[in-house]
Structure 1
Amino acid sequence: MNDKIIDGISQQFSQMLNTLNNGGTELPGQQQVKAVIQSALGKMDLVTRDEFDAQAAVLMRTREKVEALEKVVAELEKKMDNSAS
């Protein structure tokens, strides 16, 4: 997981906790929050945006190929129907 993303999430989480705390008891430090978030995200089955975009591109090319093959099959079926008649 990208450290930049984890740092951003942990900072936002720490700020939220500090806002909720309103100067009461001491809250866990940012390093502890970061470790908890990193652990939680590590257990999830996540991919980076680059990996997602690459797979989306592969899927798009695959769909285009399937559509082209469907057209070819339809044309062949039509030719077979015409020759059988």
Structure 2
Amino acid sequence: MDAKKIEDIARQINDSIPAGVKDFAGNLEQRIKTVLQQQLGKLDVVSREELDVQHQLLLRLRQRVDQLEQELAAMKRDQDS
């Protein structure tokens, strides 16, 4: 998750807290952002770009496997003839 999204979430949480609580807590938004970054850092996630790259690689590999299976079937037919 990028820093902009984390900042937006932290800001939304901060905006929902009453003013008196905000004053008491000091720089609550920064603390929330820090905690969010720490917790999100523990998640096992990949970027959308990495997911797309892996998806394309998988498609190419699937095509290659299909091609090799067809070639093997053709070789078996030739052997049986």
TM-score normalised by L of structure 2: 0.76
Q: How many residues align?
A: 77
Q: Distance in 1 between matches of 2:66 and 2:74?
A: 12
Q: Give the unaligned 5+ runs of structure 1.
A: none
Q: Does 1:4 align with 2:35?
A: no
- Within a 5 Å distance, the mapping from 1:11-30 to structure 2 comes to 11-15=11-15, 18=16, 23=18, 26=21, 29-30=28-29
Aligned-residue sequence identity (percent) comes to 34
Q: Note the 1:4-83 alignment, pairs <5 A.
A: 4-15=4-15, 18=16, 23=18, 26=21, 29-82=28-81
Q: Distance in 1 between matches of 2:53 and 2:4?
A: 21
CA 1:79–1:9: 2 relative to 1, 3 Å: farther
Deviation at 1:79, TM superposition (A): 1.3
Gaps of at least 5 residues in structure 2 are none
Name segments (4+ residues, structure 1) moved above 6 Å.
none
Aligned-pair CA distance for 1:68: 0.8
Q: Give the C-alpha shift of residue 62 in structure 1.
A: 0.8
- What's the CA shift for 1:11? 2.9
Distance 2:9 2:75 in 1: 56
Instruction: Return the offset for 1:36.
Output: 1.0
